[in-house]
Amino acid sequence: MRVSSLWLFIYFPRLALESYFLSSDGSKPQLLLNPGSREVVQCNCLAERLGIKTGMSASTAYFLLEDAEIGIYDTHIEYENLQRLALTGYRYSAHVSLIAPDGLLLEVGTMLKLFNGLENYWQQLQQSFQRAGFTAVYAVAHTARAAETLARNQIPCCSTSADEVTNKLDALTVFQLDIETRLAQRLTSMGIHHYQQLRRLPRSELGYRFGKTLVHYLNTLEKDQTLQQSFVIPPHFRHQIDLLHEAESASHLRFPLKRLLQYLEQYLSARQLTAEQLFIKLIHRQRSPTILRIQAINGAWKYRDWQNLISIQLERTRLSEPVIALQLRAHHFRPQKQSARDLLKQHFPEQDKDQLLSILISRLGHEQVNTIRLTPDPRPQYASQLVSADMSAQFKKPEKHPQKLHYPVLLLAQPKPVNPQNYRLLSKPERIVTGRWLNGCHYRKDFFRAEIMAADHAHQIHWLSRRDDGNWFLEGVFA
């Protein structure tokens, strides 16, 4: 068979279980039960070693296990995490499809040149999904259905050879194919036990005896079909984790929050965005939720940056009641920008300033941190104003006016009369004049840089002003 494209199917055999116990360290046997029949739907490796099997009744499982973590199968949690895994897949393919409830389909044929071959592609992709904490089986094949069939039968395949893929398919029994059990039984009664036998039979005869559904299925194994609908990344980020044990201290929330932040990083990376602020809802059993707002000036997307800010805020958070669930939301984004690097390290990087400001907000609170915003007003006392730190990024930075470069660090709230005989002038007068159009009053002053000549204030530089009436005033002090 000719390989016209390559498909990768990723099967997550324990997706529902690992999604439910996301905040657990996996040190105990874990069971996921059907909410209706109370039978075991999925279990982890520890439970399997102790004799637990899928389909076993809950009472039998309890008899075999002394201590175990028990959960209820939830399709919503399972699908939410499948979407999160699709975000990881977007780093490796432009076409990612969700195959509910527990699979992802990626078109990989067009990506191999970018990753220097299938082997490198395979290794990088496996490492990314392993970091996500989910068990996965990977299979590459010449058609999407063939890749899915191999993966769901837990037969890994990493090859661009159509013959090798076909050999792996040939070894499958008819009961391992995605056909009805009754049809598989009819095939075996006629001596057809493996796919190899089945594919060599005339399709017209198979259609006559077993129907068109079987023929269509065999064709999808061997020929490309219409593409599955590609996964669309949601416009906003929202994810929730239910805790296995109540968290009585805010410090106990760091591990589950780390998982949420890693998902956020995958989401932002896939969309090439940064988030300006996060909202963390701490859900209690009885009382109203506690809402934490985390601000990152000019945005952040890496989970470690957010983790530092959240850790600082958690240190000053006192819980009114134990937490049973966490929810993380992000709505406001901006495009990611490559930061310019100063090779000579002569300038303080802008991102370091933003990070410092974000840390101050997390430690002190939004109401306690202000920044200075420059204004176009030429009068020194009105040339800047205080604004809330979390709003500073909204204002466009004005161009620096030449005269503002000579303003002192410290301006007096009220100018103080001085005797000019006690000073040595260091500069020529700099006149600032405004008309009555500005606040309805005329403003005219001459400003000087001057050194005080008193011995106990040697080398101090003051900023003096001279008014029209000839009086001199101390306006500010240079550092």
Both structure tokens of 459: 């080398």
Domain range 7-28+68-222, its CATH number among 3.30.70.270, 3.40.190.10, 3.30.830.10, 3.40.50.10860:
3.30.70.270
- List beta partners, residue 291: 281
| pLDDT (0 to 100) of residue 443 | 77
Q: Provide CATH code, domain 237-335.
A: 3.30.1490.100
Three-state SS at 95:
coil
Structure pTM? 0.71
Percent of the chain residues topping a pLDDT of 90 = 46
Say how far apart CA 284 and CA 290 lie, in whole Å.
8
Could you give the angle at which helices 254-271 and 75-89 cross, rounded to 10 degrees?
50
Q: Tell me the CA end-to-end span of the chain in Å, nearest whole number.
A: 80
Give the count of alpha carbons within 13 A of 145, CB side only: 14
Say how far apart CA 211 and CA 380 lie, in whole Å.
89
Say how far apart CA 299 and CA 277 lie, in whole Å.
7
CA-angle at 448, arms to 443 and 453, nearest 5°:
140
Say how far apart CA 70 and CA 281 lie, in whole Å.
25
State how far the alpha carbon of 394 is from the alpha carbons of 42, 306, 313, 356, 362, in Å.
Answer: 49, 20, 23, 17, 19
CA-angle at 95, arms to 94 and 100, nearest 5°:
140
- 88 closest CA partner among 240, 279, 305, 233: 233
Instruction: Return residue ranges of the chain for CATH 3.30.70.270.
Output: 7-28+68-222
| pLDDT (0 to 100) of residue 397 | 54
Q: Are 184 and 222 in contact (CB under 8 A)?
A: no
DSSP secondary structure string for all residues of 412-479: EEEEEE--GGGEEE-S--EEEEE-TTTTTS-EEEEEEEEEE--GGGTT-EEEEEE-TTS-EEEEEE--
Low-confidence ranges of the chain (pLDDT < 50): 1-3, 343-344, 346-348, 402-403
Both structure tokens of 431: 């006149």
pLDDT tens string 115-172? 999 999 999 999 988 888 899 999 999 999 999 999 999 999 999 999 999 999 999 9
| pLDDT (0 to 100) of residue 369 | 75
Q: Give the position of tokens 């906003």.
A: 236
pLDDT tens string 69-112? 999 999 999 999 999 899 889 889 989 999 999 999 999 998 99
| pLDDT (0 to 100) of residue 338 | 64
Could you give the angle at which helices 254-271 and 303-315 cross, rounded to 10 degrees?
150
